Structure 1
Amino acid sequence: MYVLGAGILAHGIAARGPDGVVFANLDLRVEPGSLTVVTGPSGSGRTSLLLTLCGRLRIITGELEVDGFPLPRKARKVRSLIRPARLRPGCELEERHLVREAMTERRLISGTNKASLELGLELVGLELDRSLMVCELPPEEKLLLAVALAAAPAPAGIVVDDVDAGLTQSGRARVWAALREVTRIGMTVIASSTDRPSGDVNVVRLPAGRYYDPTAEIGLPAKAAG
């Protein structure tokens, strides 16, 4: 399996969620086939940035292109190029499914085949008892299963939220090693984490900058940043 990864270029981008601006004044460059890690404390906009980069959250200022396709105008195309492995909340494996059910569901949704699913599992070094429920898997294997299923259809890139959440040090090392393996086939990987992993990775640190809210000039309460 070899993939032509997607490159991403952003200048001065900002996005707003239900509770206000979630990140602002952000520049970034992601090379095709690279591992990029979005770091920052809780509430700094890490998940929102991943949503933005895969075409699921609109920017309100700035310029953003994914594989040459401008957002938000080409959001549908970008969504087909960059697939979420895990985005919290809302895009996670169903805990009460059996592993084999999760695989079947992903095959039907993505249109991939059984052979590609097996390659995805092999890519991240995962051997599972498929009669187990997803909730019975160790946290790192649950996340690796999500990565394998997202990578199986060979998209140009995947996004992976909260890589370090709930994992032991050895579990984190295993997941980061697997994500590096995904990039070795050319796929772009963008992951979020409280802290960066060791080694040579492209790091985007949040919060990125201050955002001017015009409501402040007319005495209205400004929305707090997420």
Structure 2
Amino acid sequence: MDSPHGAAVTAGNLGLKGPRGWAFRGVDVEAGPGSLVAIEGPSGSGRTCLLLALTGRMRPTEGHAEVGGLRLPRKMAAVRRVCALGPVPGVSELDPAFTVAEHLRERALLQRRYGGSLRALLRPRAERTATAQERIDTALAAAGLDPATLPKAERTSVRDLERLEALRLSVALALIGGPRLLAVDDTDLKLSDSERAEAWELLRSVAAGGTTVLAVCSQAPEDALTLRTATAQGTDDDGSTKSTADDTENTAGTADGTTAGKGTADAFAETRRA
């Protein structure tokens, strides 16, 4: 692509401190547009906090970062407009009582109302409906989800979806707005080896299409630019318990397994979940 759609992501000495200590600290990363970036580590190592900070949802305490040329934390609102969240527990979860069709219609309506221009809102209703359906179809194709293959097609409730199907639906919903960066939490949670491979192939194809992908996981693929954390118990200055992320590094690989770049990040991660 002559003008990559995806947002470049850079960070230097980025850190976020909460009431119980550092969620993460000293994070350095440099990823170009259309990169597949994995935040790998155990649950409770600050992975989700870093994901939310880089998408403008949490304010960093120290350091700096840029997403698509927009500096954080100064331009948090602008960063939120170019980023979209896939599944993030407690933040952007699917409603289990909704059907696939209801989720898609709701997201398309919200995108038309809040993400479009005034000129688009003034177009004839038939034209607006056709545009919305085109967005939905494009997003579903990019996410590899064909509603016709579901038990009740588009009338299938989210509670009846398999884990991988729910992931594909969440990704499709995020892509309806045409974001420059897609963020996904718990990418490989409760997936079999074959399903995990499918999930990463999905995110790899989204990145290949030009959208930068930031994905939290317990085990990253070799071709991702990876932020890797390993936690160990420690004590904060005030005596509170914290986790220390030793041996944290960024490794950027290519599809053929060769190393494209390397950096380091020493992080301190608050244990938020067991």
Q: Give the TM-score, by structure 1 length.
A: 0.90
Letter of the structure 2 residue corresponding to residue 195 of structure 1: Q
Mapped to 1, the partners of 2:182 and 2:188 lie a distance apart of 17
Q: Which residue of 2 aligns with 1:187?
A: 211
Q: Note the C-alpha offset of 1:91.
A: 1.3
**SS of structure 2 residue aligned to 1:78:** helix
Mapped to 2, the partners of 1:190 and 1:44 lie a distance apart of 16
Mapped to 2, the partners of 1:9 and 1:65 lie a distance apart of 5
Aligned length: 219
Q: Which moved more, 1:103-112 or 1:37-46?
A: 103-112
Unaligned runs of 5+ in 2: 116-131, 148-152, 243-269
Mapped to 2, the partners of 1:94 and 1:149 lie a distance apart of 12
Distance 1:75 1:175, change over 3 A: same
Q: Which residue of 2 aligns with 1:16?
A: 17
**1:3/1:156 contact within 8 Å kept:** no
Q: Bigger relative contact order, structure 1 or 2, given CA contacts below 8 A and separation 6+?
A: 1
- Which residue of 175, 190, 202 maps to 2:225? 202
Mapped to 1, the partners of 2:4 and 2:164 lie a distance apart of 25
Mapped to 2, the partners of 1:62 and 1:208 lie a distance apart of 21
Mapped to 2, the partners of 1:169 and 1:75 lie a distance apart of 36
Which structure dedicates a bigger proportion of its chain to strand?
Answer: 2
Letter of the structure 2 residue corresponding to residue 56 of structure 1: R
**SS of structure 1 residue aligned to 2:58:** coil
Q: Give the TM-score, by structure 2 length.
A: 0.75
Would you identify which runs of 4 or more consecutive aligned residues in structure 1 move more than 2 Å?
16-20, 206-209, 220-226
**SS of structure 1 residue aligned to 2:90:** coil
Mapped to 2, the partners of 1:74 and 1:4 lie a distance apart of 19
* 1:22-73 C-alpha deviation (Å, 9 max, x unpaired): 1111111121101111000111111111100100011101111111111111
Q: Which residue of 1 aligns with 2:240?
A: 222
Taking the TM superposition and a 5 Å limit, the aligned residue runs for 1:41-80 are 41-80=42-81
Q: Note the C-alpha offset of 1:175.
A: 1.2
Q: Which moved more, 1:133-142 or 1:86-95?
A: 86-95
Q: Which residue of 2 aligns with 1:131?
A: 155
Q: Note the C-alpha offset of 1:125.
A: 1.6
Percent identity between the aligned chains?
Answer: 35
Taking the TM superposition and a 5 Å limit, the aligned residue runs for 1:67-216 are 67-111=68-112, 113-128=132-147, 129-197=153-221, 199-206=222-229, 216=237
Mapped to 2, the partners of 1:6 and 1:72 lie a distance apart of 16
Letter of the structure 1 residue corresponding to residue 201 of structure 2: A
Mapped to 2, the partners of 1:126 and 1:163 lie a distance apart of 16
Mapped to 2, the partners of 1:35 and 1:127 lie a distance apart of 24
Mapped to 2, the partners of 1:140 and 1:82 lie a distance apart of 22
Unaligned runs of 5+ in 1: none
Distance 1:52 1:132, change over 3 A: same
Mapped to 2, the partners of 1:152 and 1:17 lie a distance apart of 33
**SS of structure 1 residue aligned to 2:179:** coil
**1:44/1:206 contact within 8 Å kept:** yes
Q: Note the C-alpha offset of 1:222.
A: 3.5
Mapped to 2, the partners of 1:138 and 1:178 lie a distance apart of 16
Q: Which residue of 1 aligns with 2:263?
A: none
Q: Note the C-alpha offset of 1:98.
A: 0.6
**2:12/2:28 contact within 8 Å kept:** yes
Distance 1:74 1:127, change over 3 A: same
